Amino acid sequence: MMLAPVLREHPEIVIVNISRSSAGDGIGLVHPLTLSGVHVVVVTEDTDRARWGQALALGARAVVPKDAPLSSIAAAVRRLRDGTGAMAAEERRALVAHYRAQHARAAEQHELLETLSQRESEILSHLTWGQAVGEIARLSFVSEATVRTQVRSVLAKLGVSSQLAAVALARNNGWVPCDVARDADRAPTASRTRSAAS
């Protein structure tokens, strides 16, 4: 693990890069470093302000965009060494509040996804595969009217007004589609209804 070698050097300040790349995400280092008494300055190319707020909530002292001038990072480090705020308090509070609000919304949406019945989860899965009502009805061996009723039930439970919004909510929350029939050669099967977060 990267943390142990870093702590052996007894650093006062560590600059951590956070990203969503396949190489790994440094966000997991922020809290352990902070607990060890290290001041963390985060550098990121991520433009998601909620991610910035998450890093600050985990204990980072400042977040600096990766495309900012090197002098901006140096200034944040210098302010930490001088004992002054590495980031404006108002901006810090706003970013943390934004992250916590988004986190709360995500938790609520996960709970909504968990309220779907087996059949409603199958309907949502069909929608995430881009299948229209007629195609879903044909694959499920039911009428289009029945499928429309089931779609309305899904939308009502998720608190959205369109199929596109339902699909976006599912994808944004890492929901795992059911193993439903996607063509005429496959019969409907029992499948998972849980989200990736469960």
Tell me the pLDDT tens digit for each residue of 61-93: 999 998 888 898 899 899 888 888 888 899 999
pLDDT higher than 50, residue 182: yes
DSSP label of 175? B
Q: Of 150 and 1, which is predicted with more confidence?
A: 150
Residue 193 pLDDT level (bands cut at 50, 70, 90): very low
Domain holding 7, by residue range, is: 3-105
Q: How far apart are CA 190 and CA 198, in angstroms?
A: 18
DSSP label of 174? T
95 and 151, same structural domain?
A: no
130 and 100, same structural domain?
A: no
Cβ contact 62:86 at 8 Å: yes
Q: In the chain, what percentage of residues exceed pLDDT 70?
A: 88
Q: Of 69 and 156, which is predicted with more confidence?
A: 156
Average model confidence (pLDDT) for the chain? 87
According to the model, what pLDDT value does residue 22 have?
57
Count of domains for the chain: 2
Quote the pTM value.
0.66
How many other C-beta atoms are found inside a 10 Å radius of the C-beta of residue 56? 23
According to the model, what pLDDT value does residue 191 have?
39
Q: Residue range 159-183: average pLDDT?
A: 89
Place of tokens 């499928």: 147
Residue 24 pLDDT level (bands cut at 50, 70, 90): low
According to the model, what pLDDT value does residue 181 have?
64
Domain harbouring 168, CATH code:
1.10.10.10
192: tokens are 């998972």
Q: Of 198 and 1, which is predicted with more confidence?
A: 1
Domain contains 189: yes
Residues paired with residue 62 on neighbouring β-strands, in sequence order: 41
- Sign of the C-alpha dihedral computed for residues 43, 45, 49 and 50 taken in this order: negative
Residue 178 pLDDT level (bands cut at 50, 70, 90): confident
Lowest mean pLDDT among 45-49, 102-106, 187-191: 187-191
194 and 140, same structural domain?
A: yes
Domain contains 110: no
150 and 97, same structural domain?
A: no
